[in-house]
Structure 1
């Protein structure tokens, strides 16, 4: 009696062996879609991670599921990784541009800091701190020269003793040929009252031009990267109400201009 019941119960059991190949098929389809998606997003790091995960899922490690013959998962250190990046990807292009700008800015920062140190040392050695000053900003390295170190009152003719200073500055500039240079003249607000110059604007322009010409006597300097400008009385750095303030306002500025501004990085979309 018990054997009969056991046999009847066994005959009523449903055959579920078809679920195994069905589950395998679904898994393979899922793997196929993951590979297709990864291939459409050309990112070697993400692709490498996906393939390692699939290897572990199917083989428990690195085994038969190996497609390294099709797409390299790791790039050798001496291989240009840009070959495996999509140049049309805006995020990749933006990141590369930011990295290039940062390197260029760091190089310029090093160059200008080095030049400033040498100029400051020259000023200290020759006790010229009352006549010369240097300032490094995010835009430029500026050498400020008081007018009495270069010119007589109301004159735009460079003093003979100032040619030594001009020669030193030109030697320094010749060692950094990739930077543009601006020579600017400034005056106080006292009317010039001279037959040679109608206004302070004329005086400041001529002073800047004459000093720039002496700098360019160094044949190792390219004239194309120089320019001179006169600002007259309109860019004071101190008050014109006192003699000391007016003395500071009468000056010539030699500015070494950066080609790169301080990098302003934005988050790259992922």
Structure 2
């Protein structure tokens, strides 16, 4: 019998075939990081040249690094820059235009205030009317004694001339919002016609506004009446003089243009 040949056990080797795709992957990642760095540090032309070089070295056919179509062209960059400049110019023009309109508005309201103040002086109404111009509005304040009998909202016949004079002056601002507001003191009203100061102040504002709007040159759509009752006093209700100041009708022309950086105030004469 022949002797069986005895073989020494062989040492098994690990499968290293995975190293090839792994090394390719690392190479591609390295190339990608280089390209990303180049994108942040060079212009479009240089990036295209680098992209072509990497494509030739790392692949065949269509290059995986051909990103040039995603980059903005010089033409598009120039167009974006021009659009941005045009927008900035338009914004500046708008600001200048608004500043000019605000200046003109200020001059017009100062002129109207002087006209009103002159009318008040000429007609001996200094104790019954006053005007105030601030950053938001021009306000004409009329004492209730100049317009109404006590506890009534009916405008006195002799006061209609005052309403006519004010309405004629308001024609200078046909496109401006005008608010007519009624105010009272805090003394409870006690008559059969009105249940509260709210009702009285509401009717007084509404009746005076209707007389203003008898002027056909005024646009009713620009007018609003408001009732404040006793809740917006301008003086103390603890004295008769203070209560008399609080009983009033205000006609306010609301500004369209305001300059918040400049609090404009025209003092009463």
- Bucket of the pairwise TM-score, normalised by the shorter protein: 0.5 to 0.7
Counterpart position of 1:189: 186
Alignment of 1:128-139 (within 5 A): 128-139=125-136
Q: Does 1:40 align with 2:78?
A: yes
Counterpart position of 2:223: 226
Which deviates more, 86-95 or 111-120? 86-95
Provide structure 2 residue ranges, at least 5 long, that are not aligned to the other structure: 1-73, 263-269
Aligned length: 188
Residue of structure 1 aligned with 2:107, choices 110, 117, 122: 110
- For residues 10-32 of structure 1, what are the alpha-carbon distances to aligned partners after superposition, in whole Å with 9 as ceiling and x for unaligned? xxxxxxxxxxxxxxxxxxxxxxx
Q: In 1, distance between residues paired with 2:160 and 2:215?
A: 12
1:88 CA drift (Å): 6.6
Q: In 1, distance between residues paired with 2:195 and 2:164?
A: 30
Q: Does 1:257 align with 2:244?
A: no
Q: In 2, distance between residues paired with 1:188 and 1:142?
A: 19
Native 8 Å contact 1:105 1:263 kept in 2: no
Q: In 2, distance between residues paired with 1:121 and 1:167?
A: 16
Provide structure 1 residue ranges, at least 5 long, that are not aligned to the other structure: 1-35, 44-84, 266-270
- For residues 22-55 of structure 1, what are the alpha-carbon distances to aligned partners after superposition, in whole Å with 9 as ceiling and x for unaligned? xxxxxxxxxxxxxx89x93899xxxxxxxxxxxx
- For residues 167-217 of structure 1, what are the alpha-carbon distances to aligned partners after superposition, in whole Å with 9 as ceiling and x for unaligned? 000001112212111000000000011221111011000000000000000
Q: In 2, distance between residues paired with 1:244 and 1:208?
A: 22
Q: Does 1:213 align with 2:213?
A: no
Whichever of the two has the greater Rg, that structure is 2
Alignment of 1:12-31 (within 5 A): none
Q: Secondary structure at the match of 1:232?
A: coil
Native 8 Å contact 1:101 1:260 kept in 2: yes
Give TM-score scaled by structure 2 length: 0.66
Counterpart position of 1:126: 123
Which deviates more, 89-98 or 100-109? 89-98
Report the aligned-residue RMSD: 2.2
Counterpart position of 2:174: 177
Counterpart position of 2:239: 242
1:87 CA drift (Å): 6.5
Q: Secondary structure at the match of 1:104?
A: helix
- For residues 59-89 of structure 1, what are the alpha-carbon distances to aligned partners after superposition, in whole Å with 9 as ceiling and x for unaligned? xxxxxxxxxxxxxxxxxxxxxxxxxx74675
